[in-house]
Chain A
């Protein structure tokens, strides 16, 4: 930690004179401050570098990349790699581009997110407002299911999907993501509803409102923020999943991540790096878009999912 510059807030030089403290750190522009911003800037470059590489190289002809110009801006700007990645690049056996797989991912994500969120909300409601003996144990068992290595369920799940007639299909993937998404969505709603005043629920019950009525009229209207957190978390997780997609999909039901990996790892022909980068950005755009628009909720979801088990 010795590289951390002295913060002006805690600067020992000021500590002798507590009175002038506020004034000095507001006005001082010190070398320490400059180093601080310099460091923050350097780290920003580190985090942005791969994004820069992906974007610039997806917009230049292949020859510029192979000639050693990966870090340079394009000399000749072109969107041809994007068009190729979207609709004509070779993926597996077919030259379909990533479009059909992008659509697969959307068809997979929307119902899986919607269903797991709804079920999670109801579960959270029961676990906090209609609690019963053993509810905490049950919740603990549910939560542990979120953290298991999914290698542990791959073999039986493959069989089960076969028995259900869902092997190698998008509905099969929806089912798998729903099953393993419920744990986290329940976690979010349970922790959120735990802080919701139980008196309101009890009062409504005395007034004769039933189980679902209380949920719709009293809890649901104030569930907006946690629903957003949950939807973003599930969306990001399911969109970015690779293991289930690789294990349980066929050529025509692959999600975007699996197709992207096939595009990049394909061994025949010239490696079209610019097309690979364009494809990678396509796979990243939906989650990146959500992050930029609703980053606050994304971070909240991350924290709730990890800090508060």
Chain B
């Protein structure tokens, strides 16, 4: 398909330059990606096997950093927090997104307007979201204080200050920010379903509930796949929201791998361990993203 093949191979410098032009245009990008993505990945990979502390250093220590990493309690906390957060975040976003999409798909008046309301948090920075929810959930001035002021004196809602429950406040804020986006994905999926098929099933006497369960939801599988991939990779990369909402606290109650990596690398001067934790984050994301990209790019051929 290449045009350079159809050009007359006369071999003069100008012709050759012209034939090479497309590749020349692409080459800065190729160089940038080779160095700043893959070169850097290789570099961090290498660092994870070295004795780097404050600065990168190149003394080989084998698997020591990984062994130490798995002995650190904070990493344990970060990983189990990610499991709790990720599971709740993905499942609540999917459930809520699907519910909202189905509700909005009922030939609603002002659908566009309502959709705009559901989706606007996606345009905000996680820092803004974090600030808003941080003070709204703060027991001293937020929800708890307000409800108590309304007369319900015994009302308690201090999750954000509670080691046991603080991780759920991250879920609340993260779901608020992204569920509208998941709704949009499902809505696009719903709009793609053949309405003739639904009508036929309806005439056959299927109830609304079984219509959705048997016909509609199974057809949304691609949308579920995309939602899962996007949400899972966002969960693993979650950093800003935790910093703004809880700063990882109280104590280490809301540390996630991303915040762990940052503090071990840049504040605790354990760069080798920080690099090792980044490698594990990359591996986890790659396990989700690579098969997805593979299938998407293959289909297109």
Q: Which residues of B contact A (CB under 8 A)?
A: 1-4, 18, 21-23, 25-26, 28-30, 32-33, 36-41, 43-44, 47, 56, 98-100, 102-108, 114, 116-136, 140-143, 145-146, 148-149, 176, 180-181, 184-185, 188, 198, 202-203, 205-209, 211-213, 217, 222-223, 226, 229-230, 233, 236-237, 239-240, 243-244, 247, 258, 261-262, 265-266, 271, 274-275, 277-279, 281-282, 285-286, 289-290, 292-294, 296-297, 300-301
Residues of A participating in the B interface, judged by any CB pair closer than 8 Å = 1-4, 6-12, 15-16, 18, 25, 36-37, 39-40, 43-44, 46-51, 53-54, 57, 65-66, 68-71, 119, 122-123, 125-127, 130-132, 136, 138-145, 147-157, 159-160, 179-180, 182-183, 186, 202, 205, 210-211, 236, 239-240, 242-243, 246-247, 257, 260-261, 264-265, 273, 276-277, 279-281, 283-284, 287-288, 290-292, 295, 298-299, 302-303, 306-309
Given A70-B146, A144-B290, A151-B261, A50 contacting B129 (CB threshold 8 A): yes
Which A residues are CB-close (under 8 A) to B3? 130, 202, 205
What are 5 A-B contacts defined by CB distance under 8 Å?
A68-B148, A70-B141, A148-B285, A150-B237, A151-B278
A1 & B41 in contact (Cβ 8 Å cutoff): no
B29 near A264 with CB under 8 A, answer no
CA distance A72 to B209 in the complex (A): 41
Q: Which of A37, A147, A182, A302 contacts B184 (CB 8 A)?
A: A302
* A155 x B275 contact (CB < 8 A): yes
> In the docked arrangement, what's the CA distance between A145 and B223, Å?
23
Question: Which A residues are in CB contact (< 8 Å) with B223?
Answer: 307
> What is the distance, in angstroms, from A18's C-beta to the closest C-beta of chain B?
6
Q: Is the CB of B279 within 8 A of A136?
A: no
Nearest-neighbour CB distance to chain B for A123, whole angstroms, equals: 5
From B102, B271, B296, contact of A309 by CB (8 A): B296
**Cβ contact within 8 Å between B240 and A10:** no
B146 proximity list for chain A (CB < 8 A): 68-71
Residues of chain A with a CB closer than 8 A to B105's CB = 7
Contact of A307 (CB < 8 Å), options: B114, B133, B188: B188
Known: A50-B176, A242-B125, A283-B125. Contact between A152 and B41, CB under 8 A? Answer: yes
A131 to chain B, nearest CB (A): 6
Q: When the two chains form their complex, are residues B131 and A277 in contact, meaning their CB atoms are under 8 A apart? A: yes
Q: Please report the C-alpha to C-alpha distance between residue A12 and residue B114 in the assembled complex, in whole angstroms.
A: 26
Closest to A33 in B: B106
The reply to whether A47 and B30 contact each other, CB–CB distance below 8 Å, is no
Residues of B within 8 A of A180 (CB): 36
